Structure 1
Amino acid sequence: MAKDLKGKELPVGIRQRKNGQFEGRIKHDYQSYSVYGNTISEVKKKMVDCRYKLEHGIFVEKSKITLDEWFLIWVKEYKKNDVKIGTVITYSNFYNYYAKDSLGCKKLSQIRGEHIQRLYNKLEERGLAVSNIKTLGAVLNGCFKQAVKNGLIERNPIQLATIPREKNKKARRVLTLEEQKIFIKYAKNSYLYNLFALDLRTGLRGGEMRGLKYSDIDKSERLIHIVRTLKYESGIGFFEDTPKTRTSIRDIPLTDDMISLLENQRKYYSEPNIIKLNGYVFHLPDGRPISRERVQNEIKRIVKRINDDGVVFPPFTLHALRHTFATRAIENGMKPQTLKAILGHSSLAMTMDLYAHVLPTTKAEEMNMIAGAF
C-alpha cells in the first residue's frame, strides 16, 4: 500500500507525488486513467466521477477532445435537462452558424483568447448584430466554463476576449398613432386582422400570440393566460415551449374590445357555437399553426398596398406592434410596474428602457408638466 510523504498509508489506488499533489488511478477496460487533487478527499471524489463517466461512456480525454465533441457533450449532459427545448435549439443554432467552422475542429485545450477575439471581429465585419455576438459569447462561455469545472482546460478563453462595441444601435421601430390607424385600416380585409388588432392591445410576443389557445381565454375572470410560445425548427416542425422567461408566464386583463376581437376570430373559420378549446386561436383554414414567416409576409403585403396608394410607410416586423403597444401605454400614463407585468419583462430595467424611447411629443409634454417648478 502506498504511503504519503510523511509515511502515512494512503487509500488503495492513491499515491502522493513529490510536489505534494495526490494522484488517483483507475483501471477500466484494461486501460489506466489518472486524476489529481490537492487533498485525498478531492482525489476520491474525482475517482468516483471518473469511474462513473467511464462506465457510462461519457468520459473524455483532456488532450484529445475537440470543441465540437465537447459542445455536444455539454448540451446533452448539462443543458438538455436544465433549460427549455427552445433554448437548447438556440444554443445549437448559434454554435453551428457562427462558431463551428472557425473553432469546431480545434482541440479544446488549444483554444486561446485570441481565437475567440478573432471570431468576434470576423462576425462583426460580416455585419452580425452585436446582440447576436453577445448571445454567442454567452453560449460559448457556458460551454468553456463547464470544461474548466471538469478539468479539461485550465482557463476559460471567453474571459480573455472582448465583444465589439455597438457602433450605431438600430432605432426601435414604433408606429406613430397615425401609422397605427393607417395600418389597421388597410389590414381590415386581412385574414390576420384580429391577430394584429389584438397584438396592438396586448403587446404579446409573436410566438405567444401564435401559440394562444381558446383554453387560455378566461371570460369569467376576464383574463388571457399566457402559458406557452409557439416555435418552429427545421427538422422538428412546430412545437410548444414555455414562454421566454419565468415572468413571461402571466395574465393579461381582457377588455371589451379584446373580447370582441377574439369572438370575431372564433367565427372566422368555424361555426359560431363550436369552440375547440385546445385549438390555436389564430391558425390556417385547415387548422395548422401559423408560422412567423406567414405573419411577416402578410405585414409586407399590407404595407405594400399602403405604399402603392402613395402613402410613405416604412416596413416593420410584428415585434414592432409590441413596442407600439408599450409606447401607447406609456403615452396614456400606464405605470412602469404595470407595463412590466403585462409585457412579461424579467426586469424593470427593460421596461424603463422603453420609457427612455418614448416619442418626442411625449417627452415634450412631460417637460412642459414640470416647467412651472423652476
Structure 2
Amino acid sequence: MAKKQIPAGARKRPGGGYEWRFTVEGVRTSVGATNIDDLWTKHDERAAEIKAGVYKANKAITVNEYFHEWLERRQPHIRGGTMYHYKTVFARHIAPIIGNVSMKKVERRQVLAVREKANKSAGPSAANKSIILLKALFKAAIQDEILIRSVADGVKKIQDKTKRPARETIHRELSNEELRIFFKYSRRSQYDPIFHFMLYTGMRVGECGGLEWKDIDWKRDVIHVRRTMSMGANGHIGLGATTKTTAWIRDIGMNTNIHTILSSQWELYTGTHGKMVKLSDPVFPSPGGHRITSTSATSVLLNILEQAKRHGEPLARFGTHAFRDTFASRAIRAGMPPNTLKEILGHSSLSMTMDLYAHVSEEDKKKAMKALEVIDL
C-alpha cells in the first residue's frame, strides 16, 4: 500500500515537491521527489546504498557526483530547457576543471580558473553562467551540511564592456523603412504571415508555434495563448503542455489585421484538409507541416535579410523578437495604457514591460522637448 503520510524529517518544498533529510548508520543525507511515494522509494534506495557501503559520504563526494545528485532533486521544479542549460554549462566549463575534486577540497583559485578558462574559450557570458551555477551548487552544499562556506562567494562576474544593451540588439524596434524592406522580400515565404502576426500581436515565436485552431475564438474575436514551443532536458524543442509561466497564459483581442491573417490561414488549412479538420493542428505550420520553432523562424528571417543585402537593400541584423519589440513600442506611442500592454505581452511585472520593450526613439525625444516650448516662464 502506498505511503501517503509525510515522513518525520521530510518537508514540502516552497516550489512544490518534497525533501527528506535523514541519517542512516551515522551518515547524514537527503533525497527529493515530486510525491510522497517516490520520496519513500528514494529514501529506501539511499538507505540501501549507505548500508551496502556504496554511497558517497559528504567528505568524499566529488563536484561531479554532487552536481548530478543536486540536479536530480531540482528536476521536478525546473523547466526542461533550464535542465539542459545546467548540464551543458557544467559539462563544458566546470567538469573538466573541478569535476573530480572533492566538494570539501575545492579552492577559490579553482573557481577562478573555471571562470577564466570559460571566458577564454567561450566568452564572458559562458564564464558568468558557470559562476552562477557554481554559486547555486555550493549554496545547496551548505544546506546539505557538506560545506560550511562557499568558496564561490565573492567571485564576481566578468564585465563585458563591448556588449551592447539588449534593447539595442536583440530587443530593438524596427523602423518603417526596415519593415518595408523586410516584408518586400518575405512575401514569398511561408513564414511571412507569422512575421506579420508577431508584429500585430506582440506574441513570441514559440507561442505562435504552439497556437492551435482551438485557441482561435472567432465569435469573441479573441486568441487564447495557452502553450509554447520550448526546449526539453535533452536539448530538443517541442510543444510544451503550457506556457513558460502563468503570466504567459492570456487572451489577446483581434483587430482587422490579425483577423485577416487568421482567416487566410484557415482558408489554406481547410483547402488542404477539407473535412479532416483537427482543432489541435497548428495555425502556423512549417512548410513540412510541422510546428514552427524559434530556430526555424530565425533561419528563414536571416535568409530574408541576406536576400535584401544581395539586392542592395541591406538591413541591420535583428531577430524574431524585434517584431514583438516593435509592437510594444508602437502600442505605447499610440496611447495604450502600460498595464494593458503588460497583460497583452504576458509579463509578470510592469517594470519589465517598460524597461525592456517600450523603446524611446529619437523622434520621441524631439517631440518631448518641443512640448516644453509651451512652458512660459
TM-score by length of 2: 0.78
What is the Cα deviation at residue 368 of structure 1?
2.2
Q: Which amino acid aligns with 1:208?
A: E
**Contact (CA 8 Å) 1:134, 1:163: kept in 2 or not?**
yes
Once the two structures are superposed, the pairs formed by residues 242-257 of structure 1 within 5 Å of their partners are: 242-257=242-257
One-letter amino acid matched to 2:108 = G
List gaps (5 residues or longer) in structure 2. 1-21, 30-39
Asked which structure has the greater CA Rg, the reply is 1
Aligned mates of 2:246, 2:56 — CA distance in 1? 35
Q: Could you tell me which residue of structure 1 aligns to residue 281 of structure 2?
A: 279
Matched, 1:64 2:60: yes
Report the alpha carbon displacement of residue 147 of structure 1 after superposing the two structures with TM.
Answer: 1.4
Specify the alignment match of 2:218 in structure 1: 219
* Superposition deviation, residue 140 in structure 1: 3.0
Alignment-derived partner of residue 160 in structure 1:
154
Q: Which residue of 2 aligns with 1:239?
A: 238
Structure 1 CA distance for aligned equivalents of residues 261 and 99 of structure 2: 50
Say if 2:51 is the partner of 1:55.
no
In structure 1, C-alpha distance between the alignment counterparts of 2:131 and 2:204, rounded to whole Å? 25
Which residue of the partner structure matches residue 230 of structure 1? 229
User: Following TM superposition, by how much is the alpha carbon of 1:52 offset from its aligned partner in structure 2, in angstroms?
Assistant: 5.7
Alignment of structure 1 residues 124-139 onto 2, 5 Å: 124-126=119-121, 128-130=123-125, 133-139=127-133
1:45 matched residue in structure 2: none
* 1:107 is the counterpart of 2:99: no
Q: Shift of the alpha carbon at 1:199?
A: 0.5
Cα shift at 1:347: 2.2
Normalization by structure 1: what TM-score?
A: 0.78
**Are the aligned partners of 1:223 and 1:251 in contact in 2 as well (CA < 8 Å)?**
yes
What letter corresponds to residue 299 of structure 2 in structure 1? N
Contact kept? 1:26, 1:51, Cα under 8 Å? no
Q: CA deviation at 1:194?
A: 0.8
Q: Which runs of 5+ in 1 are unaligned?
A: 1-23, 28-32, 37-47
Work out which structure has the larger RCO, using CA pairs closer than 8 Å and 6 or more positions apart in sequence.
Answer: 2
**1:82 to 2:81 alignment:** no
1:150 and 2:144 matched:
yes
1:346 equivalent among 326, 345, 348:
348
| Aligned partner letter, 1:372 | V
Corresponding letter in the other structure for 1:74:
W
Q: 1:203·1:343 contact (CA, 8 Å) conserved in 2?
A: yes
> Cα offset for 1:243?
2.5
* 1:203 positional shift: 1.8
Aligned identity (percent) is 29
Q: Work out the CA distance in 2 between the residues paired with 1:316 and 1:70.
A: 40
Residues matched between the structures, number: 332
> Is 1:331 aligned to residue 333 of structure 2?
yes
1:327·1:354 contact (CA, 8 Å) conserved in 2? no
Letter paired with 1:191: Q
Q: Which amino acid aligns with 2:212?
A: K
CA distance in 1, matches of 2:124, 2:212: 34
The 8 Å contact of residues 173 and 359 in structure 2, kept in 1 or not, is answered as no
149-158 or 109-118, which deviates more: 109-118
Which amino acid is the alignment partner of residue 254 of structure 1?
A: M
